[in-house]
Chain A
Amino acid sequence: MFEYAPAPESREIVDIKPSYGLFIGGEWVDSQGDTHHKTINPASEEVLAEVAWATEADVDRAVQAARTAFTTWSALPGSERAKYIFRIARIIQERSRELAILETLDNGKPIRESRDVDLPLVAAHFFYYAGWADKLGYAGFGPDPRPLGVAGQVIPWNFPLLMLAWKIAPALACGNTVVLKPAETTPLTALAFADICRQADLPPGVVNIVTGAGETGAALVNHPGVDKVAFTGSTEVGRMIARSVAGTGKKLSLELGGKAANIVFEDAALDQAVEGIVNGIFFNQGHVCCAGSRLLVQESVADEVLDALKRRLSTLRLGDPMDKNTDIGAINSAAQLAKIRELAEAGVNEGAERWSPACPIPERGFWFPPTVFTGVAQSHRIAREEIFGPVLSVLTFRTPAEAVEKANNTPYGLSAGIWTEKGSRILWMADRLRAGVVWANTFNRFDPTSPFGGYKESGYGREGGRHGLEAYLAV
């Protein structure tokens, strides 16, 4: 293995303020409460900034601002709305380096990923939906589909700005206004986005950002002035939201957890499959709802695949997310690290065999080495529960039918992977896998034109593509 010299990205171009208020009605305002929260760099535990935790009264103000703005925003010709959203896309491209650095500092993901994956997808998403704003009558939802009103949107910490883009771009294109709550551990890029809205001269109140934790999110979801709720996060919280929305008539879309099977057949191009396995579960430290967290490998090649996988994992670099050579960054929070540890320990206690490459762990910050469990049974917690970390559970199968049976043996249904050189088998498998996204001979690909979302307890509704408009139109 080559030695790499450190190649740290500079954080000079990022200007983080010591404290942030809320972005309501186009202005920065102070919270009416006095609870503040320090957001930290999970790679160093250094405090980055202090943000307000919005109260019910703050959320109410934000919803009022969005409601007021809705009248004019929804009446604007689609072509004018489109131009605002195109502007936002352009400003994101212009400021993408700064935003990537900010994302990596606040989230802990490697700069290589925030720079090469997150930010290009964020800009592309706004660019894509901007173009829909004046073509909604051609989208197949009737000649003049109407917006819903005020969208209350709650997003997770794993792809902070990308999830913001997935939520805000289609909402605005369809003529809705938005109150968005970023995750409590990763508010900074959403707050930077507020500044982008100002640079774009977006009318006040069209986008409002309220920071906070679960209580702020609950206040937003339960606010009677919200017409549409969109949530990405855990299945547990998704259930609570579905329950609380019952009887209110609010439209709801949920993008929840997953426990995807990544299925490798004996005829697969094994080197490519190994890359796909690594990308499937170790991309973004495994903080990915559609991560390929269950490897199903055909028995005849199991040893060969595992040997190659272990060799490959030994070359991954874990450490400073700001280093351009880093493959595995920091775990986003102490709480998430504790959850990953707890499940990994359960894996050992239930009899699975744990393996990690020799891998120095930085002294400060939250880290978890890439981990592979073999000898996993379907009943083990690590085969059933979403770990949301760099932990792969390996199971084997003999026949395609057995692979399908095991892959579908989960309450989740977000994604799946298939690795084989046989085309008819890919299509046969893809037909039978109960999952919203199936990657064949690839994994973890995303595109604004491509619908994303789950079956079963992975949620409902789709984000991306023409399908993604439906969640924000009165249809």
Chain B
Amino acid sequence: MSERLAVRKTYKLFIGGAFPRSESGRSYAVTSSKGDFLANAAKGSRKDARDAVAAARKAFPGWSSATPYNRGQILYRVAEMLEGRRAQFAAELVDADGVTAKKAGELVDAAVDRLVWYAGWSDKIGAIRGAANPVAGPYFNLSTVEPTGVVAVIAPPMGPLLGLVSVIAPVIVTGNTCVVVASERAPLPSITLAEVLATSDLPGGVVNILTGSAGEIAPWLAGHMDVNAIDLTGADADLAVRCEELAAENLKRVLRPPLDRIDWLADPGMDRMTAFLETKTVWHPIGV
């Protein structure tokens, strides 16, 4: 008897809670850090990006009006599901990045912990970023934070799991929905993460993941009139400038790529959440 032949997984896109192939019918070969063939990933197209934006927009009213408690629970549930697949992700990271099994395990742990950390922010950020403003007159005046809307996220090329989780979680915990362009170099963990998201009570369309070429897809998202903001963390310098220019068309909020290499293991701070929040201030007279 020969050794049993493995049943391989087909890596597809993640749009509106479903796993479609690219409408373009394209795929590209993904290799390990050593150059070995791993899988054919879907090569997302402009049309896929637009479908993903439509799905994200459709999901926005429900997700943004879910209670922060509920959103926090769902993010925690994502962490639980990720924890349960620790071995699978560690193996994918060993393949993708050539890290040791021990290091890969630590990176998965850090991703789980990151999700737990952000989950706790859902019902606290409003207290930190909102305000009761002492105006000079008989008015009740309250500032609260609200999600910006649909956010396009260009995920970092390095850090295919921890980096990816670290850019998605801060966007959705506050009620935004997103379209993520995964690391072109190492896209496979992103689709496995999609399987986690799909089984975590996260409503379909809150997170949509496209694999393929960031250089090809990102400009369509940057210029899309129904996208409210763009995170350029994973864009190289030229692509980032091009996207920022395109984003001006409907005055998207832009999170520019960092000047220095990001240490994904460091304390992330609040910036990735606050970049995609709006402040709304409500006035009402006080009287009898």
Contact = CB atoms under 8 A, between A and B. Distances in A.
Tell whether A pairs with B.
yes
A77 interface: no
Given A246-B244, A246-B248, A457-B251, A437 B135 contact: no
Contacts of B135: 445, 447, 449-450
B284 A441 contact: yes
A243 interface: yes
Interface string A441-453: 1100101011111
Contact of A450 (B133, B245, B249): B133
B283 interface: yes
Contacts of B133: 447, 449-451, 465
Contacts of B280: 430, 435-438, 455
A442 B282 CA distance: 10
A140 interface: yes
Contacts of B65: 431
B37 to A, nearest CB: 37
Contacts of A456: 228, 250-251
B21 to A, nearest CB: 34
Interface string B273-288: 0000011111111000
A124 B135 CA distance: 11
B283 A438 contact: yes
Nearest to B270: A140
A459 interface: yes
A412 B285 CA distance: 25
A467 B131 contact: yes
Given A246-B245, A447-B137, A451-B143, A254 B279 contact: no
B283 A437 contact: yes
Count class of interface residues, chain A: 35 or more
Contacts of A447: 133, 135-137, 139, 141
Please classify the interface of chain B as helix (H, G, I), strand (E, B), loop, or mixed, using the class held by over half of its residues. Answer: mixed
B57 interface: no
Nearest to B135: A447
Interface size range of chain B in the complex: 35 or more
A149 to B, nearest CB: 15
B248 A243 contact: yes
Interface string B231-267: 0000001001100110111110100100100000000
A445 B284 CA distance: 10
Contacts of B244: 242, 246-247
A249 B139 contact: no
A21 B238 CA distance: 41
Nearest to A431: B65
Contact of B282 (A249, A430, A452): A430
B108 to A, nearest CB: 31
A426 B283 CA distance: 10
A411 B249 CA distance: 11
A238 B141 CA distance: 28
Contacts of A438: 280-283
B281 A437 contact: yes
Contact of B128 (A140, A439, A445): A140
B134 interface: yes
Interface in B116-166: 128, 131, 133-137, 139, 141, 143, 148
A469 to B, nearest CB: 12
A37 interface: no
A256 interface: yes
A445 B137 contact: yes
Interface in A215-240: 235, 238-240
Given A246-B245, A445-B137, A449-B133, A467 B279 contact: yes
Q: Which 9 A-B pairs have the closest CB atoms?
A: A247-B241, A242-B248, A246-B244, A447-B135, A243-B248, A246-B245, A449-B133, A440-B284, A450-B133
Given A124-B136, A445-B139, 11 more contacts: A243-B248, A247-B244, A439-B282, A447-B141, A449-B134, A450-B135, A451-B133, A455-B280, A456-B250, A456-B251, A462-B279
8 contacts: A246-B244, A436-B278, A436-B279, A439-B282, A450-B135, A455-B278, A457-B250, A459-B251
